[in-house]
Amino acid sequence: MHLHSLNNTYGGIVRLLDANPNTCLVAVDGNDSIVATALGATDGRKGYLYHIAVDEQWRGQGIGSTLVHRIEDAFQAVGIVKVGILVVADNEDGKRFWKHQGWKTRPDVVYFDHDL
Residue range 63-109, pLDDT digits in tens: 999 999 999 999 999 999 999 999 988 999 999 999 999 999 999 99
Alpha-carbon distances, residue 66 vs 1, 35, 50, 105 (angstroms): 19, 13, 16, 21
Which amino acid would we find at residue 111? Y
Q: If you average pLDDT over residues 35-59, what whole number do you get?
A: 95
Task: State in Å, rounded, how far the first CA of the chain is from the last one.
Answer: 24
Residues sharing a CB contact under 8 Å with residue 82, sequence separation 6 or more, in sequence order: 45, 46, 47
Which amino acid would we find at residue 57? Q
Give the chain's domains with CATH numbers.
Answer: 10-100 (3.40.630.30)
Nearest to 25 by CA among 40, 38, 13, 8: 38
- Give the model's pLDDT for residue 12: 86
Q: What is the mean pLDDT of the chain?
A: 92
1 has a pLDDT exceeding 60: no
Confidence of residue 2 (pLDDT cuts 50, 70, 90): low
- Give the model's pLDDT for residue 116: 85
Residue 59 CA to its chain's centroid (Å): 15
- Model confidence, pTM: 0.86
Query: Alpha helices, DSSP H only, in the chain?
Result: 10-19, 63-77, 92-100
In sign, the C-alpha dihedral spanning 84, 68, 74, 26 is negative
- Give the model's pLDDT for residue 4: 54
